[in-house]
Structure 1
Amino acid sequence: MERWSSVLKIPLIATSSNYYRVAASLCLSEVPSANAVFFHGDRVRDTGNTVIERLYDLRKVAEDFVPTVNRYGEPTTSYSPVGLPASSSIVSLLSSFLQEAESLVLKEGKDVCLRSSLAHCPRTILLGFSKGGLVMNQFLSEMSSLETNSSSEDEEIGIIPASKESFLKSVSEVHYVDVGLNSSGAYITDQNVVQRISQRLAGGGSSVSVFVHGTPRQWRDEQRGWIVKEKDELVRLLKSEGENSGGKLQVHERFYFADRVPDLQMHFEIIDVMDVSSA
Structure 2
Amino acid sequence: MDRWIGLLNVSLTGGGGGGGGGCGGGGPLFRVAASLLLSPSSKTLAVPSVNAILFNGDRVEGTGDPVIEKLSDPRNVAEILVSKLGGAANAWVVDASTFAGSFAVYKELVPTVNSRGDPRRYRPNRLPASSSIVSILTKCVDQIQSMVSGERIPSPQLQTTSPRTIILGFSKGGVVVNQLLTELPFAASESPRSSNNSASSSTPRETKYHIVPATKERLLFSIAEFHYVDVGLNCAGAYLTDRVVIKKIADHLLLRNASIRFGLHGTPRQWCDDYRPWIRKEKDTLKQLLEDEARRCGGKLQVLERVYLSNKPPSLQMHFEIIELMDIS
Same fold per superposition (TM over 0.5): yes
Report the counterpart of residue 72 of structure 1 in structure 2.
Answer: 116
Gaps of 5+ in 2: 15-24, 40-45, 75-94, 97-103
- Contact 1:211/1:252 (<8 A) preserved: yes
TM-score, normalized by length of structure 2?
Answer: 0.78
Alignment map for 1:193-212 (pairs within 5 Å): 193-212=245-264
Quote the Cα distance in structure 1 between the aligned partners of 2:156 and 2:166: 20
Pairing 1:234–2:286 present: yes
The answer to whether the 8 Å contact 1:35/1:123 transfers is yes
Please state how far the C-alpha of 1:276 moved relative to its aligned partner. Answer: 0.5
Q: Distance in 2 between matches of 1:90 and 1:43?
A: 21
Q: Is the 8 A contact 1:199 1:244 kept in 2?
A: no
Which residue of structure 1 lines up, in the alignment, with residue 37 of structure 2? Answer: 27
What whole-Å deviation, never above 9, does each CA across 1:213-244 have from its counterpart, x for those lacking one? 00000000011000000000000000100111
2:180 maps to which residue? 139
- For the residue of structure 1 that corresponds to 2:59, the secondary structure is coil
Quote the Cα distance in structure 1 between the aligned partners of 2:292 and 2:241: 13
Aligned residue in 1 for 2:56:
40
CA contact (8 A) 1:32 1:122 kept: yes
| Deviation by residue 1:54-80 (Cα, 9 ceiling, x = unmatched) | 22266435222101110111111x210
Q: Which moved more, 1:23-32 or 1:176-185?
A: 23-32
Whole-angstrom distance in 2 between the partners of 1:152 and 1:85: 25
Q: How far is 1:152 from its partner? A: 9.8
Counterpart secondary structure, 1:65: coil
Aligned residues: 274
Which SS does the other structure have where 2:221 is aligned? helix
For 2:50, the aligned partner's letter is: A
Q: Alignment partner of 1:67: what SS?
A: coil
Identity %: 49
162, 182, 185: which one pairs with 1:121? Answer: 162
Give the Cα–Cα distance (whole angstroms) in 1 for the partners of residues 244 and 324 of structure 2: 34
1:6 aligns to what? 6
State the alpha-carbon separation in 2 of the partners of residues 256 and 220 from structure 1: 12
1:63 aligns with: 107
Q: Secondary structure at the match of 1:10?
A: strand
* Alpha-carbon distance in 2 for matches of 1:120, 1:162: 14
**3-state secondary structure, aligned to 1:53:** helix
Structure 2 counterpart of 1:83: 126
**Contact 2:259–2:300 (CA under 8 A) maintained in structure 1:** yes
Partner of 1:179: 231
Mean Cα displacement is larger for which, 262-271 or 111-120?
111-120
- Asked if 1:51 is matched to 2:61, the reply is no
Report the aligned-residue RMSD.
2.3
Which whole-Å CA distance do the structure 2 matches of 1:12 and 1:52 have between them?
29
Unaligned runs of 5+ in 1: none
Distance 2:327 2:307 in 1: 10
Q: What corresponds to 1:221 in structure 2?
A: 273
Shift of 1:210: 0.7
CA separation in 1, counterparts of 2:157 and 2:7? Answer: 23
State which drifts further: 240-249 or 12-21.
12-21
What TM-score do you get using the length of structure 1 for normalisation?
A: 0.91
**Which residue identity is paired with 1:234?**
L
CA contact (8 A) 1:148 1:205 kept: no
Q: 1-side partners of 2:61 and 2:254: how far apart?
A: 45
